[in-house]
Amino acid sequence: MSAQYSTPAPRSPTILSLAQHLRQVERERPGGVADDLSPLMNQLAFAAKVLAREINRAALAAAAPPQSVQGGTNSTGDDQTRLDVYANQVVLDAFHRSTRLAGLVSEEMDELVVLSEGDRARMILCIDPIDGSSNTEINGSLGTIFGFYRRERTGPGDLTAELIEGRAPLVAAGYVFYGSGTLLVYSQGEGVRSFLLDRELGEFMMCHPDIRCPEEGDSFAANTGRLYEWHPGLQRYIHHISQRDPATRRPYSLRYSGALVADFHRCLLRGGVYFYPSDRGHAEGKLRLFYESAPLAFLVEQAGGKASDGRSPILPPRARSIHQRSSLVIGSAREVELIEKFVAEAEPKTASAWTI
């Protein structure tokens, strides 16, 4: 008698690449954001691999790597390195033939670039190709931050106006963290996942299927060198978390590297708060809304955290230009709410000239 074998029940694979994950999401949610997003995420992942290779080469160049030479200034007046210029070109090359991407906004370009007016081009990509390029010389952390905004319709249109007026909402966001490994973290509205680049396979492999931001933390990341230029509410918050109180895990530890992606990544995984507020020299803040603050806000909210400008939520973005600046307070929900409380309590005693 022949042996009888039962068919094993299907199960989720334990090893999953980014490409496999994207196909899986397309099958589970056909006809939605996933259909537009999947090919674009694959193109972005390719750009990240190219940049990871170039960053490693730059780190190996011991004597005056070419990336250290200034390349001018970008759209918002910040100094550019040649790595900034190179990274921007890599992104343009990755997407220039895409039929799914209507336009691209980059920190390194003054204007939005129209890429396609076809009937499949529904997405607008807003991206900071390389955040922290000056860290290359010290072998510090770098990152890429991106957000995909979905248009209400395809075809010709004023893409800049659609973004600014909120007619193209943010539907997916993420970052690439170039550290000890190359990590891609992203969300398309149903949780946050991370993928680590396996250099032997040449693929981003899933390493965390559901990142959750702790509700509270005991660390903060901020450039306290500007403390006395901040809103009085923030100054009082710093004083509060510096006081010893074991019951509330105070004093908090300062964990600030100056690299936005690295500091945010720590907050996302371990809890705590990152903030980059406005000051007397930067009334609206320093970070860019569409390709820094808003994408990170999207991620942290998907992970159970919170993001605001100190008074009101970052999302949906409210802007007057594609390079709009903003303040950012982001991380564990309770920590962000505590900062908002200190700011609100200081408001009646604060002159209207103070911003956050």
Annotated binding site for substrate: 131-134, 223, 256, 286
| Distance from C-alpha of 223 to C-alpha of 239, rounded to nearest angstrom | 15
Phi, psi at 257, each rounded to 5°: -105, -15
Q: Please, are residues 264 and 257 in contact by the beta-carbon 8 Å criterion?
A: no
CA distances from 208 to 25, 95, 129, 196 (A): 16, 27, 24, 9
| Distance from C-alpha of 307 to C-alpha of 273, rounded to nearest angstrom | 9
Using alpha carbons only, what angle is made at residue 138 by residues 208 and 211, rounded to the nearest 5 degrees?
A: 15
| Distance from C-alpha of 159 to C-alpha of 111, rounded to nearest angstrom | 11
Nearest CA to 140 out of 223, 221, 58, 196 is that of: 58
Q: Give the 3-state secondary structure of 59-126.
A: HHCCCCCHHHCEEEECCCCCEEEHHHHHHHHHHHHHHCCCCCEEEEEECCCCCCEECCCCCCCCEEEE
Binding positions are 107, 128, 130-134, 223, 256, 286, 292
Give the H/E segment covering residue 274: strand 273-276
Pairing of strands 253-254, 170-178: unpaired
| Distance from C-alpha of 145 to C-alpha of 328, rounded to nearest angstrom | 15
Contacting residues for 157 by C-beta, under 8 A, at least 6 apart: 151
Binding positions for Mg(2+) are 107, 128, 130-131, 292
